[in-house]
Structure 1
Amino acid sequence: MKWDLTVFYETPDIEKIKKDLEDIFKRATNFVEKYEKLINENISAEQVRNYFKEFEQLMEDGLKPIQYSSLLFSENTTDKVAQQLYGISEQYGSKISEILSPLQSAFAQLSEEKLDSLSKEISEYSYAIEKIKLEKKHILSKDAERILAATSISRRDALSNLYEKLTSSYRFKIEIDGEEKELSGSQIRALRRSPDGNLRKKAMKLFFERYKADEITIGETYNIVVKDYDTEARLRNYPKPISMRNLENAVSDESVEKLIEITTENTNIVHKYYKWKAQEMNEELTLADIYAPFSSSEKKYTFDEAKEIVLDAYYSFDEKAGKIVESFFKENRIHSEIVPGKVGGAFCSYYTTQIKPFVLLNFNGNINDVMTLAHELGHGLHGTLSQKQSFINYHTPLTMAELASVFGEFLVFDKIKNELEGKEKKHFIASTLEDTFATMFRQNMFARFEIQAHELIEKNGMASFEELSKLYENELKIMFADSVKIPEEYTYEWSSIPHIFHTPFYVYAYNYANCLVIGLYQKYLEMGKKFVPKYIELLESGGKDSPERLLNKIGIDITKEEFWQGAFEFLNNMLNEII
């Protein structure tokens, strides 16, 4: 299935899109001229309300061409027009951020008393004002903010784009059933689920060694991304680099540290599982085998079959949710085909409240792809329901952004599980555990690696590809212990993790969200259909309040350590179902 992007523009007309972006830039300039001098202790609540509303409309209009360019580029990173549009959009995005940056500094200069007063008088934007209070001490002078905004296009964002272009261009030649095939990164990674053990090992060795072949480019790129991010965090007076992401995610340093600690303490669940899997498969496992199917004839799904499974699960949960998810198919807002130049992985794109979300995935036909479809459409459900909010309250922090996606996976998991029996059911639960390990323990391992990599680069001025690979190897040993063998090429795996390049310290949000979702799903199992309206209301809330307060409304207290531990007890109970 391919998406239809004509809701943005009929064709990728470079001149028209450039003109639209230029118009937005002029509007942004006029907007700053209108409000910059007004933002002081004498500004009225009505003036601030008007400021927010005008800002929202500016963003709604300005993000349309930027989102379009991003989607077009992700569909084919080698297309010259898409590359040019993406570059133009990035350039204008940087210019618009630069011109708007003094307003952020101006609000940061307001006294806490003034901000408190505005928060009470403009209740619809009270959380936005609360965030200004929290960010005050990290916002720099007008000139400094302008410099950071202006140079963003040539700093870590530019390097992460270079990394994306480089790795998206990789092609892998491999012999399958006596025939040499040329595969993309997504296709070669899909061979981890092949029933042929030799093919799995050969494919992953080929995959990681391709990254190792570019160790100078990738290693230097990562070092510069880290230095750029950490320098900004230091300039903004954050105690640690990760603190900058934590504030953006509306979570405390302490809660993230506690989550990482508790997850690491529970890695015995992973060890126990893979020792059981080795016995079940009657073979010694390596890391190339952690997603190996239990049967030599792994079930394959057509895209239409996957669609029906996912729709049935969402409709069974709630008709409104089902209709929203179905609209993605009816309105051609999904790109599922594997084509040359397309970015790997999967995502759901939603920028504004005025254009519905779009989904990209690389559908290979295995059960994992069915779950990925459910996952990304969960994002789409969230992005659609939260369009009830205005733009400023629309987007959630990363820690809440994965809620609906993982919840959707659980809905599909229960639907499929209840239709299976015996070994087939047992192996499906096992496969789901593996995927859950990937989004909890594995992301936790990535987070631990990132923290140490940033510390090493800060301490020594740089870290070689080899040093970073050694750090990563140590983390692999903590996660898996002696339950699987660690081939040398897997120590290069860190270099294939796109998030650590384009969004430093993003990865722990997956684990954070998974723990939250398990808590939510347990509530659903306890309450049944009575839970549904509360869940829909949570998704409709978008980012209008802090995660802690939004979750408190449905009976979840994320300040308690036992809440986080409860997620791992849930996983352990799943494991005990099969061993």
Structure 2
Amino acid sequence: MKWDLTVFYEIPDIEKIKKDLEDIFKRATNFVEKYEKLINENISTEQVRNYFKEFEQLMEDGLKPIQYSSLLFSENTTDKIAQQLYGISEQYGSKISEILSPLQSAFAQLSEEKLDILSKEIPEYSYALEKIKLEKKHILSKDAERILAATSISRRDALSNLYEKLTSSYKFKIEIDGEEKELSGSQVRALRRSPDGNLRKKAMKLFFERYKADEITIGETYNIVVKDYDTEARLRNYPKPISMRNLENAVSDESVEKLIEITTENTKIVHKYYKWKAQEMNEELTLADIYAPFSSSEKKYTFDEAKEIVLDAYYSFDEKAGNIVESFFKENRIHSEIVPGKVGGAFCSYYTTQIKPFVLLNFNGNINDVMTLAHELGHGLHGTLSQKQSFINYHTPLTMAELASVFGEFLVFDKIKNELEGDEKKYFIASTLEDTFATMFRQNMFARFEIQAHELIEKNGMASFEELSKLYENELKIMFADSVKIPEEYTYEWSSIPHIFHTPFYVYAYNYANCLVIGLYQKYLEMGKKFVPKYIELLESGGKDSPERLLNKIGIDITKEEFWQSAFEFLNNMLNEII
């Protein structure tokens, strides 16, 4: 299935899109001229309310061409027009951020007392004003903010785009069933689920060694991304680099540290599982085998079959949720085909409250792809329901952004599991555990690696590809211990993790969200249909309040250590079902 982007523009008309972006830039300039001097202790409540409303409309209009360019580029990173549009939209995005940056500094100059008064008098934007209070000490002078905004296009964002272009261009020649084939990165990674153990190992060796071949480019790119991010965090007076992401995610440093600590303590679940899997398969496992199917004839799904499974699960949960998910298919807002130049992985894109979300995935037809479809459509459900909010309250922090997606996976998991029995059921639970390990323990491992990599680069001024690979090897040993063998090429795996390049410290959000979802899903299992309206209301809330307060409304207390531990007990119980 391919998506239809004509809701944005009929065709990728460079001149038309450039003109739209230029108009937005002019509107942004006028907006700043209107409000910059007004933002002081004497500004009225009505003026602040009007400021927010005008800002929201400016963003709604301005993000339309930027989102379109991003989707077009994701569809084919080698297309010249897509590349040009992406470059133009990035350039204007940076210019618009630069011109708007003085307003952030102006709000940061308001006293806490003034912000408290405004928050009470403008309840629809109270959380936005609360966040300004929290960010005050991290917002720089007008000139400094302007410089950071102006240079964003040529700093870590530009380097992460270079990394994306480089790695998306990789082609892999590999012999399968006596025939040499040329595969994309996504197709090679899919071979981890091949029933042929030799093919799995050969494919992953080929995959990671391709990244190692570009070690100078990738290693230097990562070093510069880290230095750029850490320099900004230091300039903004954050105690440590990850603190900048934590504040953006509306979580404390302490809670993230506790989550990482608790997850690491529970890696014994992973060790226990893979020792069982090795016995079940009667072979010594390597990291190339952690997703190996238990049966030599792994079931394949057509896209239409995957669609029906996912729709049935969402409709069984709630008719409104089912209707929203089905609209993605009816309105051609999914790109699932594997084509040359397309970015790897999967995502759901939603920028504004006025254009419905779009989903990209690379569908190979295995059960993991069915779950990925459920995952991304969960994002789509969240992005659609939260359009009830105005733009400022629309987007959630990363820690809540994965909530609906993982919940959607659990819905599909239960639907499929209840239709199976015997070994088929056992191995499906096992496969789901593997995917959950990937989004909890592996993401935790990535987070631990990132923290140490940033510390090493700060301490020594740089870290070589080999040094970073050694750090990563140590983390692999902590996660897997002696349950699987670690091939040398897997120590290069860090270089293939796009998140650490384009959004430093993103990865722990997956683990955070998974723990949250397990808590939510247990509530659903306890309450049944009575839970559904509460869940829908949570998704409709978008980012209008802090995660802690939004979750408290449905009986989740994220300040308690036992809440996080309960997620791992849930996983251990799943494991005990099959062992």
Compute the displacement of 1:234 (Å): 0.1
* Aligned ranges 1:97-108 → 2 under 5 Å: 97-108=97-108
Task: State whether structure 2 residue 216 is matched by structure 1 residue 216.
Answer: yes
Deviations 1:116-150 (A, max 9, x none): 00000000000000000000000000000000000
Deviations 1:403-431 (A, max 9, x none): 00000000000000000000000000000
Deviations 1:105-124 (A, max 9, x none): 00000000000000000000
Deviations 1:263-307 (A, max 9, x none): 000000000000000000000000000000000000000000000
Matching residue of 1:518? 518
* Aligned ranges 1:112-261 → 2 under 5 Å: 112-261=112-261
Distance 1:113 1:314 in 2: 46
Aligned with 2:180: secondary structure?
A: strand
Deviations 1:363-393 (A, max 9, x none): 0000000000000000000000000000000
Compute the displacement of 1:349 (Å): 0.1
Compute the displacement of 1:175 (Å): 0.3
Q: Which runs of 5+ in 1 are unaligned?
A: none
Deviations 1:555-577 (A, max 9, x none): 00000000000000000000000
Query: What's the C-alpha RMSD, in Å, of the aligned pairs?
Result: 0.1
Aligned with 1:175: secondary structure?
A: strand
Compute the displacement of 1:463 (Å): 0.1
Distance 2:95 2:376 in 1: 31
Matching residue of 1:64? 64
Compute the displacement of 1:152 (Å): 0.1
Compute the displacement of 1:525 (Å): 0.1
Deviations 1:310-343 (A, max 9, x none): 0000000000000000000000000000000000
Compute the displacement of 1:491 (Å): 0.0
Task: State whether structure 2 residue 465 is matched by structure 1 residue 472.
Answer: no
Aligned with 1:217: secondary structure?
A: helix
Distance 2:113 2:9 in 1: 46
Compute the displacement of 1:540 (Å): 0.0
Compute the displacement of 1:171 (Å): 0.3
Compute the displacement of 1:240 (Å): 0.3
Matching residue of 2:343? 343
Deviations 1:65-124 (A, max 9, x none): 000000000000000000000000000000000000000000000000000000000000
Distance 2:138 2:254 in 1: 18
Compute the displacement of 1:160 (Å): 0.1
Compute the displacement of 1:225 (Å): 0.1
Distance 2:519 2:84 in 1: 45
Compute the displacement of 1:486 (Å): 0.1
Matching residue of 1:559? 559
Distance 2:276 2:444 in 1: 22
Q: Which runs of 5+ in 2 are unaligned?
A: none
Compute the displacement of 1:188 (Å): 0.2
Aligned with 1:471: secondary structure?
A: helix
Distance 1:135 1:121 in 2: 20
Compute the displacement of 1:208 (Å): 0.0
Deviations 1:342-372 (A, max 9, x none): 0000000000000000000000000000000
Matching residue of 1:430? 430
Matching residue of 1:269? 269
Compute the displacement of 1:179 (Å): 0.3
* Aligned ranges 1:341-420 → 2 under 5 Å: 341-420=341-420
* Aligned ranges 1:406-555 → 2 under 5 Å: 406-555=406-555
Aligned with 1:577: secondary structure?
A: helix
Deviations 1:6-53 (A, max 9, x none): 000000000000000000000000000000000000000000000000
Distance 1:362 1:36 in 2: 46
Aligned with 1:12: secondary structure?
A: coil
Distance 2:201 2:45 in 1: 63
Aligned with 2:452: secondary structure?
A: helix
Compute the displacement of 1:531 (Å): 0.1
Deviations 1:524-569 (A, max 9, x none): 0000000000000000000000000000000000000000000000
* Aligned ranges 1:24-43 → 2 under 5 Å: 24-43=24-43
Deviations 1:216-269 (A, max 9, x none): 000000000000000000000000000000000000000000000000000000
Distance 1:46 1:230 in 2: 38
Compute the displacement of 1:186 (Å): 0.1
Compute the displacement of 1:397 (Å): 0.1
- Give the alignment's TM-score, normalised by structure 1: 1.00
Aligned with 2:483: secondary structure?
A: coil
Distance 1:181 1:517 in 2: 40
- Give the alignment's TM-score, normalised by structure 2: 1.00
Matching residue of 1:78? 78
Compute the displacement of 1:513 (Å): 0.2
Aligned with 1:359: secondary structure?
A: strand
Distance 1:131 1:213 in 2: 44
Aligned with 2:78: secondary structure?
A: coil
Distance 1:519 1:288 in 2: 31
Distance 1:120 1:469 in 2: 51
Distance 2:405 2:372 in 1: 9
Distance 2:211 2:108 in 1: 43
Distance 1:286 1:187 in 2: 20
Aligned with 1:174: secondary structure?
A: strand
Aligned with 2:89: secondary structure?
A: helix
Deviations 1:188-233 (A, max 9, x none): 0000000000000000000000000000000000000000000000
Distance 2:46 2:382 in 1: 31
Aligned with 1:173: secondary structure?
A: strand
Distance 2:32 2:521 in 1: 45
Distance 1:570 1:123 in 2: 38
Percent of residue pairs identical: 98
Compute the displacement of 1:467 (Å): 0.1
Number of aligned residue pairs: give it: 579
Distance 2:113 2:190 in 1: 56
Distance 2:121 2:480 in 1: 54
Matching residue of 1:321? 321
